[in-house]
Amino acid sequence: MIDSPLLNPVHAHIQGRWVAADSARCFAVHNPATGEQLAEVPALGAAETARAIDAARHTLATPHSLVQRQHWLEDIARVLRENKEELGRIVTLEHGKPWQEGQGEVEYAAGFFAQCARQIHELAPRTLADTPRDCRWTVHYRPAGVVGLITPWNFPIGMIAKKLSAAIAADCPSVIKPSSKTPLTLIALMKLLDEHLDLPAGYVNLVTGPAGPISECLMGHPDVRVVSFTGSTGVGKRLIEQSAAEVKKLTLELGGNAPYIVFEDADLDAAADNFIGNKFRGGGQTCVCANRLYVHQAVEQAFSEKLIERVSRLKVGDGMEEGTDIGPLIDRNGFDKVHQHLRDALDQGAELIHGEPPTEPAGDGWGHFFPPVILRGVRPGMRVTREETFGPLVAMIAFDNEEDVIAQANDTEFGLAGYVFSGDLARGARVAGRLRCGHVGLNTGTGPTPEAPFGGMKESGYGREGGQEGLFEFVEVQTIPQPL
Ligand code: NAP
Protein backbone atom coordinates (compact mmCIF):
# COMPACT_ATOMS: atom_id res chain seq x y z
CA MET A 1 0.00 0.00 0.00
CA ILE A 2 1.17 3.51 -0.69
CA ASP A 3 2.37 5.49 2.29
CA SER A 4 2.16 9.23 1.73
CA PRO A 5 1.33 12.18 3.98
CA LEU A 6 -0.74 13.50 1.07
CA LEU A 7 -2.96 10.42 1.01
CA ASN A 8 -4.55 10.43 4.37
CA PRO A 9 -7.41 9.71 3.95
CA VAL A 10 -7.85 8.08 0.55
CA HIS A 11 -11.34 9.45 0.03
CA ALA A 12 -13.41 11.48 -2.37
CA HIS A 13 -14.08 15.12 -1.48
CA ILE A 14 -17.53 16.75 -1.59
CA GLN A 15 -18.62 20.06 -0.07
CA GLY A 16 -15.34 20.46 1.78
CA ARG A 17 -15.53 17.03 3.40
CA TRP A 18 -13.73 13.74 2.82
CA VAL A 19 -16.31 11.11 1.94
CA ALA A 20 -16.61 7.40 1.23
CA ALA A 21 -19.10 5.94 -1.25
CA ASP A 22 -22.71 5.63 -0.04
CA SER A 23 -22.41 1.94 -0.85
CA ALA A 24 -19.04 1.75 0.98
CA ARG A 25 -17.68 0.14 -2.20
CA CYS A 26 -14.11 0.76 -3.30
CA PHE A 27 -11.90 -0.05 -6.26
CA ALA A 28 -8.22 -0.88 -6.23
CA VAL A 29 -5.42 1.20 -7.75
CA HIS A 30 -2.24 -0.64 -8.75
CA ASN A 31 1.35 0.26 -9.44
CA PRO A 32 1.69 -0.73 -13.13
CA ALA A 33 5.39 -1.53 -12.68
CA THR A 34 4.97 -4.06 -9.89
CA GLY A 35 1.29 -4.83 -9.62
CA GLU A 36 1.36 -3.82 -5.98
CA GLN A 37 -2.02 -2.56 -4.78
CA LEU A 38 -1.45 1.07 -3.84
CA ALA A 39 -4.83 1.90 -2.33
CA GLU A 40 -8.54 1.28 -2.27
CA VAL A 41 -10.46 4.30 -3.51
CA PRO A 42 -14.18 4.98 -2.95
CA ALA A 43 -16.40 4.02 -5.89
CA LEU A 44 -18.94 6.84 -5.91
CA GLY A 45 -22.01 6.88 -8.12
CA ALA A 46 -24.76 9.15 -9.39
CA ALA A 47 -26.20 10.10 -5.97
CA GLU A 48 -22.88 11.38 -4.64
CA THR A 49 -22.17 13.16 -7.93
CA ALA A 50 -25.52 14.95 -7.70
CA ARG A 51 -24.62 16.06 -4.16
CA ALA A 52 -21.28 17.37 -5.41
CA ILE A 53 -23.04 19.33 -8.17
CA ASP A 54 -25.47 20.74 -5.64
CA ALA A 55 -22.64 21.80 -3.33
CA ALA A 56 -20.88 23.42 -6.26
CA ARG A 57 -24.03 25.26 -7.36
CA HIS A 58 -24.45 26.81 -3.92
CA THR A 59 -21.06 28.51 -4.18
CA LEU A 60 -22.20 30.33 -7.32
CA ALA A 61 -24.38 32.58 -5.20
CA THR A 62 -21.29 34.40 -3.91
CA PRO A 63 -19.08 35.71 -6.73
CA HIS A 64 -15.36 35.94 -6.02
CA SER A 65 -13.33 38.92 -7.14
CA LEU A 66 -10.61 38.68 -9.76
CA VAL A 67 -8.07 39.50 -7.07
CA GLN A 68 -9.33 36.69 -4.83
CA ARG A 69 -9.18 34.19 -7.67
CA GLN A 70 -5.73 35.40 -8.66
CA HIS A 71 -4.51 34.73 -5.11
CA TRP A 72 -6.00 31.25 -5.13
CA LEU A 73 -4.32 30.46 -8.45
CA GLU A 74 -0.97 31.76 -7.21
CA ASP A 75 -1.32 29.78 -4.01
CA ILE A 76 -2.06 26.55 -5.87
CA ALA A 77 0.97 27.05 -8.13
CA ARG A 78 3.15 27.62 -5.07
CA VAL A 79 1.78 24.65 -3.12
CA LEU A 80 2.25 22.33 -6.11
CA ARG A 81 5.86 23.43 -6.50
CA GLU A 82 6.52 23.02 -2.78
CA ASN A 83 5.20 19.45 -2.96
CA LYS A 84 6.68 18.55 -6.31
CA GLU A 85 8.73 15.59 -5.10
CA GLU A 86 5.93 13.84 -3.24
CA LEU A 87 3.29 14.56 -5.87
CA GLY A 88 5.74 13.38 -8.54
CA ARG A 89 6.28 10.17 -6.57
CA ILE A 90 2.53 9.50 -6.45
CA VAL A 91 2.32 10.16 -10.22
CA THR A 92 5.10 7.65 -10.79
CA LEU A 93 3.66 5.00 -8.50
CA GLU A 94 0.24 5.01 -10.14
CA HIS A 95 1.24 5.81 -13.74
CA GLY A 96 4.71 4.26 -14.08
CA LYS A 97 6.60 7.16 -15.67
CA PRO A 98 10.11 7.99 -14.33
CA TRP A 99 10.08 10.00 -11.10
CA GLN A 100 11.96 12.92 -12.70
CA GLU A 101 9.27 13.04 -15.36
CA GLY A 102 6.55 12.86 -12.71
CA GLN A 103 8.08 15.89 -11.01
CA GLY A 104 8.30 17.62 -14.37
CA GLU A 105 4.58 17.01 -14.78
CA VAL A 106 3.87 18.67 -11.43
CA GLU A 107 5.94 21.68 -12.52
CA TYR A 108 3.98 21.73 -15.80
CA ALA A 109 0.72 21.63 -13.81
CA ALA A 110 1.84 24.50 -11.56
CA GLY A 111 2.58 26.50 -14.71
CA PHE A 112 -1.11 26.50 -15.71
CA PHE A 113 -2.20 27.98 -12.38
CA ALA A 114 0.57 30.57 -12.55
CA GLN A 115 -0.32 31.43 -16.13
CA CYS A 116 -4.03 31.91 -15.32
CA ALA A 117 -3.06 34.10 -12.37
CA ARG A 118 -0.93 36.29 -14.66
CA GLN A 119 -3.63 36.57 -17.31
CA ILE A 120 -6.76 36.81 -15.22
CA HIS A 121 -7.08 40.55 -15.88
CA GLU A 122 -8.26 39.58 -19.39
CA LEU A 123 -11.54 38.52 -17.73
CA ALA A 124 -12.25 41.96 -16.31
CA PRO A 125 -15.34 43.63 -17.81
CA ARG A 126 -14.55 45.95 -20.70
CA THR A 127 -16.45 48.95 -22.00
CA LEU A 128 -16.53 49.54 -25.75
CA ALA A 129 -14.91 52.73 -26.99
CA ASP A 130 -17.84 53.26 -29.39
CA THR A 131 -21.30 54.21 -28.13
CA PRO A 132 -23.73 52.87 -30.77
CA ARG A 133 -27.47 53.46 -30.22
CA ASP A 134 -26.60 56.18 -27.70
CA CYS A 135 -25.59 53.55 -25.18
CA ARG A 136 -22.50 52.63 -23.20
CA TRP A 137 -21.77 48.95 -23.93
CA THR A 138 -20.08 46.75 -21.35
CA VAL A 139 -18.94 43.18 -21.96
CA HIS A 140 -18.80 40.87 -18.94
CA TYR A 141 -17.24 37.43 -18.65
CA ARG A 142 -19.62 35.56 -16.36
CA PRO A 143 -18.95 32.13 -14.86
CA ALA A 144 -20.74 29.57 -17.03
CA GLY A 145 -22.02 27.61 -14.01
CA VAL A 146 -20.95 24.36 -12.43
CA VAL A 147 -18.35 22.61 -14.60
CA GLY A 148 -17.55 18.91 -14.90
CA LEU A 149 -13.89 18.06 -15.44
CA ILE A 150 -13.07 14.53 -16.65
CA THR A 151 -9.43 13.54 -16.98
CA PRO A 152 -7.37 10.60 -18.34
CA TRP A 153 -4.59 8.57 -16.73
CA ASN A 154 -1.64 9.58 -18.88
CA PHE A 155 -1.03 12.92 -17.12
CA PRO A 156 -2.59 12.40 -13.69
CA ILE A 157 -2.04 16.03 -12.63
CA GLY A 158 -1.13 17.85 -15.85
CA MET A 159 -4.55 17.40 -17.44
CA ILE A 160 -6.58 18.56 -14.45
CA ALA A 161 -4.33 21.59 -14.02
CA LYS A 162 -5.27 22.85 -17.48
CA LYS A 163 -8.96 22.64 -16.66
CA LEU A 164 -9.10 23.57 -13.00
CA SER A 165 -6.92 26.67 -13.44
CA ALA A 166 -9.23 28.07 -16.13
CA ALA A 167 -12.33 27.10 -14.12
CA ILE A 168 -11.10 28.96 -11.03
CA ALA A 169 -10.07 31.93 -13.18
CA ALA A 170 -13.64 32.03 -14.51
CA ASP A 171 -15.06 31.60 -10.97
CA CYS A 172 -16.73 28.31 -11.89
CA PRO A 173 -17.11 25.68 -9.16
CA SER A 174 -16.15 22.25 -10.35
CA VAL A 175 -16.81 18.54 -10.01
CA ILE A 176 -13.74 16.53 -10.98
CA LYS A 177 -13.88 12.93 -12.19
CA PRO A 178 -10.33 11.49 -12.41
CA SER A 179 -9.33 8.36 -14.30
CA SER A 180 -9.93 5.28 -12.22
CA LYS A 181 -6.39 4.14 -13.09
CA THR A 182 -4.74 7.22 -11.53
CA PRO A 183 -7.01 8.92 -8.96
CA LEU A 184 -4.42 9.14 -6.17
CA THR A 185 -2.58 12.20 -7.46
CA LEU A 186 -5.85 14.14 -7.49
CA ILE A 187 -6.75 12.98 -3.99
CA ALA A 188 -3.34 14.35 -2.95
CA LEU A 189 -4.13 17.60 -4.78
CA MET A 190 -7.43 17.90 -2.88
CA LYS A 191 -5.57 17.39 0.38
CA LEU A 192 -3.25 20.26 -0.49
CA LEU A 193 -6.17 22.52 -1.48
CA ASP A 194 -7.94 21.56 1.73
CA GLU A 195 -5.00 22.34 3.96
CA HIS A 196 -3.43 25.36 2.28
CA LEU A 197 -6.27 27.33 0.66
CA ASP A 198 -9.43 28.97 1.92
CA LEU A 199 -11.64 27.83 -0.97
CA PRO A 200 -15.37 27.81 -0.15
CA ALA A 201 -16.70 24.35 0.72
CA GLY A 202 -18.00 22.80 -2.49
CA TYR A 203 -16.00 25.06 -4.82
CA VAL A 204 -13.82 22.13 -5.95
CA ASN A 205 -15.22 18.58 -5.55
CA LEU A 206 -13.55 15.29 -6.35
CA VAL A 207 -15.75 12.35 -7.31
CA THR A 208 -13.90 9.05 -7.72
CA GLY A 209 -15.47 5.95 -9.23
CA PRO A 210 -16.57 4.26 -12.43
CA ALA A 211 -17.19 6.58 -15.35
CA GLY A 212 -20.71 5.47 -16.32
CA PRO A 213 -22.92 6.76 -13.47
CA ILE A 214 -20.72 9.77 -12.69
CA SER A 215 -20.54 10.96 -16.26
CA GLU A 216 -24.24 10.34 -16.88
CA CYS A 217 -25.06 12.47 -13.88
CA LEU A 218 -22.73 15.26 -15.00
CA MET A 219 -24.09 15.18 -18.56
CA GLY A 220 -27.72 14.96 -17.50
CA HIS A 221 -27.69 17.60 -14.78
CA PRO A 222 -29.06 21.02 -15.77
CA ASP A 223 -26.73 22.91 -13.41
CA VAL A 224 -23.61 21.58 -15.14
CA ARG A 225 -23.13 24.00 -18.01
CA VAL A 226 -19.69 22.96 -19.29
CA VAL A 227 -18.02 19.58 -19.36
CA SER A 228 -14.33 19.60 -20.16
CA PHE A 229 -13.10 16.16 -21.15
CA THR A 230 -9.68 14.81 -22.02
CA GLY A 231 -9.57 11.24 -23.22
CA SER A 232 -10.30 9.02 -26.17
CA THR A 233 -12.18 10.15 -29.26
CA GLY A 234 -14.75 7.37 -28.83
CA VAL A 235 -15.84 8.64 -25.41
CA GLY A 236 -15.70 12.24 -26.68
CA LYS A 237 -18.22 11.40 -29.41
CA ARG A 238 -20.56 9.87 -26.85
CA LEU A 239 -20.38 13.05 -24.79
CA ILE A 240 -21.26 15.13 -27.86
CA GLU A 241 -24.44 13.08 -28.28
CA GLN A 242 -25.29 13.40 -24.59
CA SER A 243 -24.67 17.16 -24.59
CA ALA A 244 -27.45 17.84 -27.09
CA ALA A 245 -30.35 17.47 -24.65
CA GLU A 246 -29.37 20.52 -22.61
CA VAL A 247 -27.12 22.26 -25.12
CA LYS A 248 -24.22 21.76 -22.78
CA LYS A 249 -20.93 23.27 -23.80
CA LEU A 250 -18.07 20.81 -24.25
CA THR A 251 -14.33 21.22 -24.39
CA LEU A 252 -12.87 18.07 -25.90
CA GLU A 253 -9.19 17.14 -25.87
CA LEU A 254 -9.18 13.81 -27.67
CA GLY A 255 -6.85 11.34 -29.31
CA GLY A 256 -4.01 12.03 -31.73
CA ASN A 257 -1.97 10.39 -34.49
CA ALA A 258 0.95 12.79 -34.77
CA PRO A 259 3.08 12.85 -37.93
CA TYR A 260 6.78 13.67 -37.43
CA ILE A 261 8.32 14.74 -40.74
CA VAL A 262 12.07 14.84 -41.37
CA PHE A 263 13.10 16.41 -44.70
CA GLU A 264 16.40 15.66 -46.41
CA ASP A 265 17.81 19.10 -45.51
CA ALA A 266 16.98 18.83 -41.78
CA ASP A 267 19.58 18.87 -39.03
CA LEU A 268 19.37 15.12 -38.47
CA ASP A 269 20.98 15.17 -35.03
CA ALA A 270 18.49 17.76 -33.80
CA ALA A 271 15.62 15.85 -35.38
CA ALA A 272 16.77 12.61 -33.71
CA ASP A 273 17.34 14.21 -30.30
CA ASN A 274 13.94 15.87 -30.41
CA PHE A 275 12.33 12.66 -31.52
CA ILE A 276 13.63 10.80 -28.46
CA GLY A 277 12.24 13.48 -26.11
CA ASN A 278 8.94 13.58 -27.95
CA LYS A 279 8.28 9.92 -28.61
CA PHE A 280 9.32 8.26 -25.38
CA ARG A 281 7.87 10.67 -22.81
CA GLY A 282 5.40 8.79 -20.67
CA GLY A 283 6.61 5.58 -22.34
CA GLY A 284 5.10 6.75 -25.63
CA GLN A 285 1.70 7.16 -23.98
CA THR A 286 1.00 10.82 -24.66
CA CYS A 287 -1.48 12.33 -27.08
CA VAL A 288 1.27 14.43 -28.72
CA CYS A 289 3.79 11.59 -29.17
CA ALA A 290 4.97 11.08 -32.74
CA ASN A 291 2.90 8.17 -34.03
CA ARG A 292 4.10 8.17 -37.64
CA LEU A 293 7.72 9.05 -38.48
CA TYR A 294 8.06 10.25 -42.10
CA VAL A 295 11.70 10.42 -43.22
CA HIS A 296 12.84 11.55 -46.68
CA GLN A 297 14.26 8.53 -48.50
CA ALA A 298 17.58 10.32 -49.16
CA VAL A 299 18.32 10.42 -45.42
CA GLU A 300 16.41 7.37 -44.22
CA GLN A 301 19.53 5.28 -43.66
CA ALA A 302 21.48 8.05 -41.93
CA PHE A 303 18.52 8.99 -39.74
CA SER A 304 17.83 5.36 -38.82
CA GLU A 305 21.40 4.98 -37.60
CA LYS A 306 21.16 8.10 -35.45
CA LEU A 307 17.89 6.90 -34.01
CA ILE A 308 19.16 3.42 -33.22
CA GLU A 309 22.21 4.86 -31.49
CA ARG A 310 20.00 7.01 -29.24
CA VAL A 311 17.27 4.45 -28.62
CA SER A 312 19.80 1.81 -27.57
CA ARG A 313 20.80 4.02 -24.65
CA LEU A 314 17.25 4.17 -23.21
CA LYS A 315 16.70 2.19 -20.04
CA VAL A 316 13.36 0.50 -19.48
CA GLY A 317 12.29 -0.19 -15.90
CA ASP A 318 10.44 0.83 -12.78
CA GLY A 319 9.98 4.61 -12.78
CA MET A 320 11.23 4.84 -9.20
CA GLU A 321 14.60 3.32 -10.15
CA GLU A 322 17.45 5.71 -10.84
CA GLY A 323 18.22 6.09 -14.54
CA THR A 324 14.93 4.74 -15.90
CA ASP A 325 13.85 6.44 -19.13
CA ILE A 326 10.78 4.36 -19.98
CA GLY A 327 8.37 2.86 -17.47
CA PRO A 328 5.80 0.12 -18.02
CA LEU A 329 2.72 0.45 -20.17
CA ILE A 330 -0.32 1.35 -18.11
CA ASP A 331 -1.95 -2.09 -18.22
CA ARG A 332 -2.46 -5.23 -20.20
CA ASN A 333 -4.77 -3.57 -22.74
CA GLY A 334 -2.11 -0.97 -23.43
CA PHE A 335 0.49 -3.67 -23.93
CA ASP A 336 -1.75 -5.74 -26.19
CA LYS A 337 -2.42 -2.75 -28.46
CA VAL A 338 1.27 -2.03 -29.02
CA HIS A 339 1.92 -5.71 -29.57
CA GLN A 340 -0.92 -5.97 -32.10
CA HIS A 341 0.28 -2.90 -34.01
CA LEU A 342 3.76 -4.41 -34.17
CA ARG A 343 2.52 -7.80 -35.39
CA ASP A 344 0.23 -6.23 -37.96
CA ALA A 345 3.08 -4.15 -39.40
CA LEU A 346 5.52 -7.08 -39.47
CA ASP A 347 2.93 -9.36 -41.07
CA GLN A 348 2.45 -6.78 -43.82
CA GLY A 349 6.13 -6.48 -44.61
CA ALA A 350 7.59 -3.85 -42.27
CA GLU A 351 11.16 -4.52 -41.13
CA LEU A 352 12.25 -4.53 -37.50
CA ILE A 353 15.56 -2.64 -37.43
CA HIS A 354 15.96 -2.24 -33.68
CA GLY A 355 14.68 -3.77 -30.47
CA GLU A 356 13.70 -7.12 -29.11
CA PRO A 357 9.95 -7.04 -28.79
CA PRO A 358 8.08 -9.65 -26.79
CA THR A 359 6.97 -12.43 -29.12
CA GLU A 360 3.90 -13.28 -27.06
CA PRO A 361 0.91 -11.15 -26.11
CA ALA A 362 0.83 -10.01 -22.51
CA GLY A 363 0.35 -12.55 -19.78
CA ASP A 364 -1.89 -11.99 -16.79
CA GLY A 365 -0.72 -9.67 -14.08
CA TRP A 366 1.31 -6.47 -14.21
CA GLY A 367 4.70 -5.13 -15.16
CA HIS A 368 4.01 -4.80 -18.87
CA PHE A 369 7.35 -3.42 -19.97
CA PHE A 370 7.75 -2.99 -23.72
CA PRO A 371 11.29 -2.31 -24.95
CA PRO A 372 11.49 0.42 -27.61
CA VAL A 373 11.37 -0.94 -31.13
CA ILE A 374 11.97 0.70 -34.52
CA LEU A 375 10.22 -0.39 -37.70
CA ARG A 376 11.20 0.61 -41.20
CA GLY A 377 9.18 0.09 -44.37
CA VAL A 378 5.87 0.99 -42.74
CA ARG A 379 3.21 1.72 -45.32
CA PRO A 380 -0.18 3.47 -45.33
CA GLY A 381 -2.98 1.19 -44.23
CA MET A 382 -1.05 -0.57 -41.48
CA ARG A 383 -2.67 -0.15 -38.07
CA VAL A 384 0.30 1.86 -36.77
CA THR A 385 -0.48 4.56 -39.31
CA ARG A 386 -4.22 4.67 -38.64
CA GLU A 387 -4.55 4.35 -34.86
CA GLU A 388 -2.88 5.89 -31.87
CA THR A 389 -0.35 3.22 -30.77
CA PHE A 390 0.33 4.68 -27.30
CA GLY A 391 3.64 2.92 -26.73
CA PRO A 392 7.36 2.93 -27.53
CA LEU A 393 6.95 1.66 -31.09
CA VAL A 394 8.60 3.78 -33.80
CA ALA A 395 6.91 3.44 -37.19
CA MET A 396 9.18 4.82 -39.92
CA ILE A 397 7.78 5.61 -43.35
CA ALA A 398 9.97 6.77 -46.26
CA PHE A 399 8.74 9.58 -48.54
CA ASP A 400 10.18 11.30 -51.59
CA ASN A 401 8.32 14.59 -52.05
CA GLU A 402 6.69 17.38 -50.11
CA GLU A 403 3.23 17.14 -51.61
CA ASP A 404 3.03 13.42 -50.94
CA VAL A 405 4.15 13.65 -47.32
CA ILE A 406 1.63 16.40 -46.57
CA ALA A 407 -1.15 14.27 -48.05
CA GLN A 408 -0.05 11.23 -46.01
CA ALA A 409 0.33 13.23 -42.80
CA ASN A 410 -3.19 14.64 -43.18
CA ASP A 411 -4.70 11.29 -44.13
CA THR A 412 -6.17 10.63 -40.70
CA GLU A 413 -9.29 11.64 -38.82
CA PHE A 414 -7.05 13.04 -36.05
CA GLY A 415 -5.50 16.51 -35.97
CA LEU A 416 -3.81 17.12 -32.65
CA ALA A 417 -0.03 17.50 -33.01
CA GLY A 418 2.49 17.34 -35.84
CA TYR A 419 6.19 18.10 -36.30
CA VAL A 420 8.27 19.28 -39.26
CA PHE A 421 12.06 19.31 -39.50
CA SER A 422 13.70 21.13 -42.40
CA GLY A 423 16.77 23.34 -42.89
CA ASP A 424 14.68 25.46 -45.26
CA LEU A 425 12.54 27.59 -42.98
CA ALA A 426 10.28 28.72 -45.81
CA ARG A 427 9.49 25.11 -46.59
CA GLY A 428 9.08 24.25 -42.93
CA ALA A 429 6.59 27.07 -42.42
CA ARG A 430 4.74 26.16 -45.63
CA VAL A 431 4.35 22.54 -44.61
CA ALA A 432 3.39 23.44 -41.02
CA GLY A 433 0.67 25.70 -42.39
CA ARG A 434 -0.82 22.86 -44.41
CA LEU A 435 -0.88 20.28 -41.62
CA ARG A 436 -4.36 20.02 -40.14
CA CYS A 437 -3.09 19.87 -36.56
CA GLY A 438 -3.72 22.26 -33.67
CA HIS A 439 -0.06 22.11 -32.63
CA VAL A 440 2.86 21.91 -35.08
CA GLY A 441 6.47 21.88 -33.86
CA LEU A 442 8.77 23.47 -36.45
CA ASN A 443 12.27 22.07 -35.90
CA THR A 444 11.24 21.12 -32.39
CA GLY A 445 9.48 18.14 -30.86
CA THR A 446 8.15 20.15 -27.95
CA GLY A 447 4.59 19.63 -26.82
CA PRO A 448 2.20 22.14 -25.18
CA THR A 449 3.14 24.80 -22.64
CA PRO A 450 0.89 26.75 -20.22
CA GLU A 451 1.63 30.03 -22.02
CA ALA A 452 0.19 28.95 -25.38
CA PRO A 453 -3.20 27.60 -26.48
CA PHE A 454 -3.34 23.87 -27.21
CA GLY A 455 -6.06 21.70 -28.69
CA GLY A 456 -7.06 19.63 -31.65
CA MET A 457 -8.54 19.96 -35.11
CA LYS A 458 -10.86 17.41 -36.74
CA GLU A 459 -11.68 14.43 -34.48
CA SER A 460 -9.00 15.39 -31.97
CA GLY A 461 -11.57 17.68 -30.41
CA TYR A 462 -12.46 21.32 -29.97
CA GLY A 463 -11.75 24.08 -27.51
CA ARG A 464 -8.37 25.19 -26.29
CA GLU A 465 -6.44 24.85 -23.05
CA GLY A 466 -3.60 27.12 -21.96
CA GLY A 467 -2.70 30.58 -23.22
CA GLN A 468 -5.17 33.39 -23.54
CA GLU A 469 -7.68 31.26 -25.45
CA GLY A 470 -7.86 28.67 -22.66
CA LEU A 471 -8.85 31.35 -20.19
CA PHE A 472 -12.19 31.84 -21.93
CA GLU A 473 -13.38 28.19 -22.00
CA PHE A 474 -15.53 28.46 -18.87
CA VAL A 475 -17.05 31.93 -19.22
CA GLU A 476 -20.26 33.08 -20.81
CA VAL A 477 -20.10 36.46 -22.47
CA GLN A 478 -22.78 38.89 -21.36
CA THR A 479 -23.26 42.27 -23.07
CA ILE A 480 -24.98 45.15 -21.26
CA PRO A 481 -25.98 48.30 -23.17
CA GLN A 482 -27.01 51.25 -21.00
CA PRO A 483 -28.25 54.68 -22.20
CA LEU A 484 -25.59 57.40 -21.98
P1 NAP B 1 -10.66 7.30 -21.80
O2 NAP B 1 -10.79 5.85 -21.67
O3 NAP B 1 -11.49 8.00 -22.81
O4 NAP B 1 -10.92 7.88 -20.34
C5 NAP B 1 -10.75 9.23 -20.02
C6 NAP B 1 -11.64 9.61 -18.84
O7 NAP B 1 -12.99 9.44 -19.24
C8 NAP B 1 -11.45 8.74 -17.61
O9 NAP B 1 -11.67 9.54 -16.47
C10 NAP B 1 -12.54 7.71 -17.75
O11 NAP B 1 -12.96 7.18 -16.49
C12 NAP B 1 -13.64 8.54 -18.36
N13 NAP B 1 -14.62 7.77 -19.14
C14 NAP B 1 -14.53 6.51 -19.61
N15 NAP B 1 -15.68 6.17 -20.26
C16 NAP B 1 -16.49 7.25 -20.18
C17 NAP B 1 -17.80 7.51 -20.64
N18 NAP B 1 -18.51 6.64 -21.33
N19 NAP B 1 -18.32 8.75 -20.40
C20 NAP B 1 -17.62 9.67 -19.72
N21 NAP B 1 -16.38 9.46 -19.24
C22 NAP B 1 -15.81 8.28 -19.48
O23 NAP B 1 -9.15 7.72 -22.13
P24 NAP B 1 -7.83 7.28 -21.40
O25 NAP B 1 -7.47 5.89 -21.85
O26 NAP B 1 -7.92 7.55 -19.94
O27 NAP B 1 -6.77 8.32 -22.00
C28 NAP B 1 -6.07 8.13 -23.17
C29 NAP B 1 -6.66 8.95 -24.29
O30 NAP B 1 -6.66 10.32 -23.92
C31 NAP B 1 -5.85 8.87 -25.56
O32 NAP B 1 -6.70 8.75 -26.66
C33 NAP B 1 -5.13 10.20 -25.60
O34 NAP B 1 -4.74 10.64 -26.88
C35 NAP B 1 -6.14 11.11 -24.99
N36 NAP B 1 -5.52 12.32 -24.49
C37 NAP B 1 -5.73 13.48 -25.17
C38 NAP B 1 -5.10 14.64 -24.74
C39 NAP B 1 -5.31 15.95 -25.45
O40 NAP B 1 -4.88 16.98 -24.94
N41 NAP B 1 -5.96 15.95 -26.60
C42 NAP B 1 -4.28 14.61 -23.61
C43 NAP B 1 -4.10 13.40 -22.95
C44 NAP B 1 -4.73 12.25 -23.39
P45 NAP B 1 -12.54 5.72 -16.00
O46 NAP B 1 -11.05 5.75 -15.86
O47 NAP B 1 -13.23 5.57 -14.70
O48 NAP B 1 -13.00 4.74 -17.03
Predicted confidence pLDDT, tens digits, the chain (484 residues): 999 999 999 999 999 999 999 999 999 999 999 999 999 999 999 999 999 999 999 999 999 999 999 999 999 999 999 999 999 999 999 999 999 999 999 999 999 999 999 999 999 999 999 999 999 999 999 999 999 999 999 999 999 999 999 999 999 999 999 999 999 999 999 999 999 999 999 999 999 999 999 999 999 999 999 999 999 999 999 999 999 999 999 999 999 999 999 999 999 999 999 999 999 999 999 999 999 999 999 999 999 999 999 999 999 999 999 999 999 999 999 999 999 999 999 999 999 999 999 888 777 789 999 999 999 999 999 999 999 999 999 999 999 999 999 999 999 999 999 999 999 999 999 999 999 999 999 999 999 999 999 999 999 999 999 999 999 999 999 999 999 9
Report which of 317, 282, 140, 168 is spatially closest to residue 228, judged by C-alpha positions.
Answer: 168
Ligand 1 atom closest to residue 454's alpha carbon, by position in its atom list: 40
What homologous superfamily does CATH list for 258-449? Aldehyde Dehydrogenase; Chain A, domain 2 (3.40.309.10)
Q: Which CATH number fits domain 12-254+460-483: 3.40.605.10, 3.65.10.10, 2.30.30.60, 3.40.50.720?
A: 3.40.605.10
> Could you tell me where in the chain the CATH 3.40.605.10 domains are found?
12-254+460-483
Ligand 1 neighbours (beta carbon < 6 A): 150-155, 159, 177, 179-181, 210-211, 215, 230-232, 235, 238, 253-256, 287, 388, 416, 456, 460-461
**Ligand 1 center to 254 CA (angstroms):** 8
- Ligand 1 centroid – CA 356 distance (Å): 30
Contact present, 6 and 15 (Cβ < 8 Å): no
Please answer whether residues 21 and 209 qualify as being in contact, where contact means their C-beta atoms are separated by less than 8 angstroms.
yes
Q: Pinpoint the residues of the chain covered by CATH 3.40.309.10.
A: 258-449
- Please list the active-site residues: 253, 287
Q: How many A from CA of 18 to the centre of ligand 1? A: 25
